[in-house]
């Protein structure tokens, strides 16, 4: 498929006003997307677990303007309160997707959005937020035509649009494992949108647990836009993109067989490689905090002492995602409360697990 496949046919129906609502989950990458080209296209393939408890609910209200203006007309309400801080990101998003959603300047929008996770938790809400908004807009677009998209094409279009809002958002529509970015061994994978991992997945990975330790709830030190751009002249970029491709190839049989040791080594290698890229860019950053390292060392020690299959991954920040099979839930819960919780800011953490993706909300 190409970008052109997402251009709409001429609209045949008019709608005065309406409202739609979607709920989208966050996701945590096992193989990391870090580095992009063109319009939000990834330099390497990535794969993520779709989460469940951490999600965004968005309701989009729209009403036809008397005359279409030259500007986008929208207001954002975050948790019931009008918010200006999201406006620049949404404006940029509308600009990028207008070719595919040519009704945007003909309507006024109210975007009502809320997260289940605390806004200042350091958990990126852009993936779940952009996914939910893209799903709402895709549903609105369907109202202007009698030719409805198949459910597969609907999700593809919404994922394609979500990607233009925030790259990793295109992996936040389906679950439990979503791939984004072309890979020679995954013929269904595309740089344009996320798709469900197409091969057999061992049951152990269908109910994986993710406890997110909130080490630092502050504003991100480096925005992901700045971070991705730092890969442009990065001395190790080429090698890193090759490594991600190799790791993806190795992960395919691991996900099938349920090889937890293989899983751990790839997932931790990816997390540390992501941070290594930031430490070796110009300018350079250390996004881990002393407590991040303390947690990593405790996880390694616990694994050595108990034979547990608990492991960690990191986003572009100091928080730690603790990943483990559901069979170890009780043991790892104890370990977290006894040994890791004290390294979290105000003792805060979020218990999550893999989920099946976005859902439409009846309003």
- Give the binding range for ligand PMV (CB under 6 A) out of 30-38, 139-147, 264-272, 354-362: 30-38
Structure tokens at 295: 């947690």
Least gap, CB of 223 to ligand PMV (angstroms): 8
Least gap, CB of 44 to ligand PMV (angstroms): 10
Least gap, CB of 165 to ligand PMV (angstroms): 9
Nearer Cβ to ligand PMV (124/344): 124
User: At a CB cut-off of 8 Å and minimum separation 6, what does 347 contact?
Assistant: 341
Site string for ligand PMV, 186-215 (x = CB under 6 A): ------------------------------
Whether the Cβ atoms of residue 46 and residue 179 lie closer than 8 Å to each other? yes
- Give the binding range for ligand PMV (CB under 6 A) out of 86-94, 165-173, 238-246, 260-268: 165-173
- Give the binding range for ligand PMV (CB under 6 A) out of 25-33, 105-113, 149-157, 264-272: 25-33
Instruction: Looking at residues 297 to 356 of the shown chain, list those that interact with ligand PMV (rule: CB under 6 A).
Output: 315-316
167 binds ligand PMV (CB under 6 A): yes
**Three state DSSP letters for 150-182:** CHHHHHHHHHHHHHHHCHHHHHCCECCEEEECC
Selected from 21, 46, 190, 195, the binder of ligand PMV by CB under 6 A is 46
Least gap, CB of 103 to ligand PMV (angstroms): 26
* Integer Cα distance of 13 and 172 in angstroms: 30
Selected from 6, 22, 33, 86, the binder of ligand PMV by CB under 6 A is 33
Selected from 20, 22, 23, 32, the binder of ligand PMV by CB under 6 A is 32
Least gap, CB of 268 to ligand PMV (angstroms): 15
Nearest-5° angle of CA 222, CA 225, CA 226? 50
58 binds ligand PMV (CB under 6 A): no
Selected from 23, 24, 168, 345, the binder of ligand PMV by CB under 6 A is 168
24 binds ligand PMV (CB under 6 A): no
* Integer Cα distance of 54 and 284 in angstroms: 30
* Integer Cα distance of 203 and 354 in angstroms: 12
- Give the binding range for ligand PMV (CB under 6 A) out of 32-40, 74-82, 229-237, 323-331: 32-40
User: At a CB cut-off of 8 Å and minimum separation 6, what does 83 contact?
Assistant: 76, 77
Selected from 224, 245, 291, 345, the binder of ligand PMV by CB under 6 A is 224
Q: Which one, of 353, 260, 252, lies nearest residue 47 by Cα?
A: 252
Selected from 23, 24, 29, 312, the binder of ligand PMV by CB under 6 A is 29
Nearer Cβ to ligand PMV (166/292): 166
Q: Which one, of 30, 43, 37, 32, lies nearest residue 276 by Cα?
A: 32
* Integer Cα distance of 201 and 221 in angstroms: 36
Whether the Cβ atoms of residue 30 and residue 178 lie closer than 8 Å to each other? no
The alpha-helical segments, DSSP class H, found in the chain are 87-97, 126-142, 151-165, 224-229, 237-257, 260-279, 290-306, 329-335
* Integer Cα distance of 342 and 353 in angstroms: 22
Going by the DSSP 8-state scheme, the letter that residue 147 receives in this structure is S
Least gap, CB of 162 to ligand PMV (angstroms): 10
Whether the Cβ atoms of residue 322 and residue 211 lie closer than 8 Å to each other? yes
Whether the Cβ atoms of residue 80 and residue 62 lie closer than 8 Å to each other? no
Per CB under 6 A, residues contacting ligand PMV are 29, 32-34, 46, 124, 126, 166-168, 224, 228, 274, 315-316
């Amino acid at each position: 498929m190409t970008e052109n496949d997402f251009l709409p046919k001429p609209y045949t129906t008019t709608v005065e006003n309406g409202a739609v609502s979607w709920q989208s989950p966050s996701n945590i990458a096992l193989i990391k997307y870090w580095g992009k080209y063109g319009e939000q296209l990834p330099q390497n393939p990535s794969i993520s677990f779709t989460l469940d408890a951490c999600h965004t609910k968005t309701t989009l209200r729209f009403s036809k303007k008397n005359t279409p203006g030259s500007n986008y007309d929208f207001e954002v309400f975050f948790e019931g309160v009008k918010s200006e801080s999201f406006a620049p990101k949404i404006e940029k998003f509308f600009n990028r997707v207008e070719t595919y959603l040519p009704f945007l300047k003909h309507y006024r929008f109210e975007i009502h959005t809320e997260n289940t996770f605390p806004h200042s938790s350091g958990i990126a809400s852009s993936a779940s937020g952009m996914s939910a908004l893209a799903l709402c807009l895709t549903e609105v677009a369907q109202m202007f035509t009698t030719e409805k998209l198949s459910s597969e094409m609907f999700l593809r279009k919404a994922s394609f649009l979500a990607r233009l809002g925030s790259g990793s958002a295109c992996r936040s529509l389906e679950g439990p494992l979503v791939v984004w970015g072309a890979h020679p061994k995954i013929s269904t994978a595309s740089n344009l949108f996320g798709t469900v991992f197409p091969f057999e997945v061992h049951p152990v990975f269908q109910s994986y647990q993710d406890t997110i330790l909130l080490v630092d709830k502050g504003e991100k030190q480096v925005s992901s836009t700045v971070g991705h751009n730092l890969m442009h002249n990065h001395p190790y970029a080429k090698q890193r993109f090759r490594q991600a491709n190799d790791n993806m190839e190795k992960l395919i049989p691991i996900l099938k067989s349920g090889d937890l040791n293989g899983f751990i080594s790839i997932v931790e290698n990816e997390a540390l490689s992501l941070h290594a890229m930031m430490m070796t860019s110009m300018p350079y950053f250390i996004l881990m905090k002393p407590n991040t390292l303390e947690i990593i060392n405790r996880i390694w020690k616990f694994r050595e002492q108990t034979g547990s299959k608990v492991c960690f991954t990191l986003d572009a920040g100091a928080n730690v995602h603790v990943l483990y099979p559901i069979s170890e839930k009780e043991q790892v819960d104890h370990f977290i409360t006894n040994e890791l919780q004290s390294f979290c800011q105000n003792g805060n953490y979020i218990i999550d697990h893999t989920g099946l993706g976005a859902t439409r909300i009846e309003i």
